[in-house]
Amino acid sequence: MKVLVTRRLPGDALKKLAMHCEVDLWEKETPIPRDTLIDRIRDKDALLCLLTDKIDAEVMDAAPGLRIISNYAVGYDNIDVMHAIKSSIVVSNTPGVLTDATADLTWAIILSLARRIVEADRFARSGNWQGWDPNLMLGYDVHSRTLGIVGAGRIGTAVASRARGFNMEVVYTSRSINKKMESLVKARRIPLEELLSVSDFVTLHVPLTPETKHMIGQRELSLMKSTAFLINTSRGAVVDEVALVHALQNKTIAGAGLDVFEHEPSISSRLIELPNVVILPHIGSATHATRSKMADIAVENIISFMTRGRPLYEVKQA
């Protein structure tokens, strides 16, 4: 099989892939240009791509022999899965291995927002610190407060389980009941509107789909407490970023922690100007161990498809 790989990956997985397939690797550390992608995919049977590669009908139709698209991510909103299914192309992803790393990062953001860690670090470096002060950098408690989880899947559940140590009340919204979350932290499933109005921290863990796009907009933000924080480590477009900027400027909510943005890698300059926002460059799964395991799974998906006719993790629906 001939495989196009759109980036060099951490660990040894690509070496293993090269033992089974003919690998055409995009060597640069910048995204493969679209015309190059379309040109180089023409004679390929498989594609190992990143979440930043838009794999739509035009890309798939350029490769008549393409049989599998292995996404180096759990999210697959960058791929037109409906078109892949229609074209008998299998799509695979890397669920599970990045759940804990992404949940850990979500907690790093929760703590950073509540205790103003990024702001306080900048201030401590500035040379303006005059000494311990009863009024310096007051923030909010995390312990014993209410955590609202939107999307109770793998990552949402892992975020909830970490709330135990902080003695938090956990509420969640999801289309189906999550028994594990309910038994782990006595989480209560409530409608989104109610979750927004009772939570001190609202954290988003839904995939980006037509239903979840702009799920959090002006109306939803207005339902949140003025002392509450919004955390997004899912996909940027789940939040209406313009509405979020307004809510932050008008102090409708206390702050936001964002690992993902609507138009990555561009970040609204108005967000950058706000002190009560923690801004990260999409690093949810970015640990050495996790990124290496993701590479193993992305490669195994292709090898398993070649040898057994199906990948380890097949995306079944759009």
Site residues for ligand NAP per CB under 6 A: 74-75, 95, 98-99, 102, 151-156, 173-176, 205-209, 211-212, 233-235, 259-260, 282, 284-285
> Of these residues, 7, 162, 235, 291, which one is catalytic?
235
100: which 2 tokens? 């804990």
285 binds ligand GLV (CB under 6 A): yes
Binding span for ligand GLV by CB under 6 A among 42-50, 67-75, 185-193, 208-216: 67-75
Q: 3-class DSSP state for residue 170?
A: strand
Binding span for ligand GLV by CB under 6 A among 25-33, 69-77, 181-189, 246-254: 69-77
Measured CA to CA, the distance from residue 128 to residue 204 in angstroms comes to 36
Tell me the per-residue interface mask from 145 to 184 with ligand GLV, x by CB under 6 A, - otherwise.
----------------------------------------
Q: 3-class DSSP state for residue 12?
A: coil
282 counts as catalytic: yes
Among 21, 284, 291, 315, binds ligand GLV (CB under 6 A): 284
224 binds ligand GLV (CB under 6 A): no
Measured from the CB atom, the residue of 33 and 281 that comes closer to ligand NAP is 281
Using the Cα atoms of residue 126, residue 131, residue 137 and residue 143 in order, give the sign of their dihedral: positive
Q: Give the residue among 269, 291, 271 at the shortest CA–CA distance from 279.
A: 271
Q: 3-class DSSP state for residue 76?
A: coil
Instruction: State the DSSP code for 15.
Output: H
Measured CA to CA, the distance from residue 63 to residue 4 in angstroms comes to 11
Residue 251 Cα distances to 149, 155, 156, angstroms? 22, 29, 26
> Of these residues, 194, 264, 270, 314, which one is catalytic?
264
Q: Give the residue among 267, 253, 269 at the shortest CA–CA distance from 201.
A: 253
- Beta-ladder partners of 229: 201, 255
Residue 280 contact, options ligand GLV, ligand NAP, none, Cβ 5-8 Å cut-off depending on partner type = none
97 binds ligand GLV (CB under 6 A): no
Measured CA to CA, the distance from residue 89 to residue 60 in angstroms comes to 9
Among 74, 97, 149, 221, binds ligand GLV (CB under 6 A): 74
Binding span for ligand GLV by CB under 6 A among 71-79, 170-178, 216-224, 267-275: 71-79
236 binds ligand GLV (CB under 6 A): no
> Which residue is associated with the tokens 């995939």?
207
- Beta-ladder partners of 2: 22
- Catalytic residue list: 235, 264, 282
Residues of this chain that interact with ligand GLV (CB under 6 A) are 51, 73-75, 98, 284-285
